[in-house]
């Protein structure tokens, strides 16, 4: 095995200095990339905060919405009310007819009594 070539101290210093400059340049690139990522992360965090607020408002609104079960209960009650209304309408027609018949009979009896 060959022993590594011995460099003069000024050459070694120059080479070391060149390596440090290269590493410094690489670190600057990494630092710039990290700063860029920090900006992107801040944008993502702000967007997440906005969306979280929107979701909370949606949840608040949904609490006042009727569910399928609520709508089914309401429809059941409406069906019962419609049935009652139909029955009442039929009874009104029936009673109206009876009243007309009674009025006709009263008129007939009045004619017999007064004539």
For residue 46, the model assigns a pLDDT of: 96
What pLDDT digit, counting tens, does each position of 61-89 carry? 888 888 899 999 999 999 999 999 999 99
Q: How confident is the model at residue 8 (pLDDT cuts 50, 70, 90)?
A: confident
Reply yes or no on whether the pLDDT at 4 is more than 70. Answer: no
Assigned token pair, 36: 């860029």
For residue 60, the model assigns a pLDDT of: 87
Q: Which residues contact 74 (CB under 8 A, 6 or more apart)?
A: 66
> Mean pLDDT, the chain, as a whole number?
90
What global pTM score does this model have?
0.44
* DSSP calls for the chain: -PPPPPPPHHHHHHHHHHHHHHHHHHHHHHHHHHHHHHHHHHHHHHHHHHHHHHHHHHHHHHHTS--HHHHHHHHHHHHHHHHHHHHHHHHHHHHHHHHHHHHHHHHHHHHHHH-
What pLDDT digit, counting tens, does each position of 87-111 carry? 999 999 999 999 999 999 999 999 9
């Amino acid at each position: 095995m060959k022993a590594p070539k011995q460099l003069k101290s000024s050459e070694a210093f120059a080479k070391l200095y060149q390596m440090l400059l290269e590493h410094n340049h690489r670190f600057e690139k990494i630092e710039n990339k990290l700063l860029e990522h920090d900006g992107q992360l801040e944008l993502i965090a702000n967007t997440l905060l906005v969306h979280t607020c929107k979701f909370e408002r949606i949840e608040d609104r949904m609490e006042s919405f009727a569910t399928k079960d609520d709508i089914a209960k309401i429809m059941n009650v409406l069906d019962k009310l419609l049935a009652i209304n139909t029955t009442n309408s039929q009874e009104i027609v029936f009673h109206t007819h009876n009243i007309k018949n009674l009025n006709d009979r009263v008129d007939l009896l009045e004619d017999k009594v007064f004539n």
